[in-house]
Amino acid sequence: MKSAGDLRGVLLDAEEAAGLDVHGRIDAAVLVPLYEHDDDVHAVFTRRREDLRRHAGEISFPGGRQDHGDEDLVTTALREAEEEIGLPPDAVEVLGALQPTPTIATNYAIYPFVGVIEPGFAWVLQQTEVDEVLELSLDELRAGYGERRLVRRGIPFRTPTYETGGHVIWGATARILGDLLARTSR
C-alpha cells in the first residue's frame, strides 16, 4: 500500500480529469480526503441522513453539484467538504484525481479529487444532510470487498460493495473507492 503522500504519481492530473467527458447531465465533484495513522491510510466518508429524499442513509465522499460561482470542479469538491463536514480548503493538499464516474439514478457526472489532510480533525457536520463522519481504513475496506445482493426501491440487484465495521459502501462511491484501491496497490 502506498502512503497517502506517494499517491500523486498514480493519480490523474486534477485539471485533466476535470476535462474528461463522462455520461451525466449534472456535473458534481467529491473530495476523497485521506490521512495516515498507525501506518495505515484512512479515507473520510459521510453517512447521509436517513430522512433525505435522495441517497438516504448512504455512505459517500463529501461533495455535490457544481455551483455557478465555483471556479472549477476542484473548487466544488473543496467547498462541499467544508459545507458538509467543516473541512477548510486550506487544510487539504489536493494530490490529483480519480476516474470520473456517472450515477445511474440521478444522472450525475461525479469528478473525484484526492486530497491529504492531517489526522485528528474535529468534524463539524452539516446537520441537514450528514448524519456522521466515518474514517475508514483502506486496508480494511480492501479486505471487505465482495459482491452482494441489495434491494433499492423494492428492486433486488447484485453489486460490488466494500464492508467494514457494519458499514456498506456501494454504487458510485464503491466505484470511486475501487479506483483508489487499484491505484494504491501498485
pLDDT of residue 4: 61
CA distance 24 to 102: 6
- 51: exposed, middle or buried (Cβ count in 10 Å: 0-12, 13-18, 19+): exposed
Q: How many domains does the chain divide into?
A: 1
Residue 47 lies in a domain: yes
Whether 41 has a pLDDT exceeding 80, the answer reads yes
With a cut of 90, say whether residue 43 has pLDDT above it.
yes
The answer to whether the predicted template modeling score (pTM) of the entire model surpasses 0.85 is yes
Range of the domain at 65: 4-137
Confidence of residue 1 (pLDDT cuts 50, 70, 90): very low
List the Cα angle 41/47/48 in 5-degree steps. 150
pLDDT at 155 over 80: no
Cα separation, 75 vs 92, in Å, equals: 12
Is there a domain that residue 144 lies in? Answer: no
The CATH number that applies at residue 98 is 3.90.79.10
In a domain, 186, yes or no: no
112 lies in a domain?
yes
Residue indicated by cell numbers 452482494: 148
Is 165 within a domain?
A: no
Tell me what pLDDT residue 186 has: 55
pLDDT at 147 over 70: yes
Answer whether residue 90 is part of any domain: yes
Distances (CA, A) of 89 to 19, 31, 132, 169: 21, 10, 20, 25
| Any domain includes 126 | yes
Band of pLDDT at residue 6, cut at 50, 70 and 90:
confident
Confirm whether 39 is domain-assigned: yes
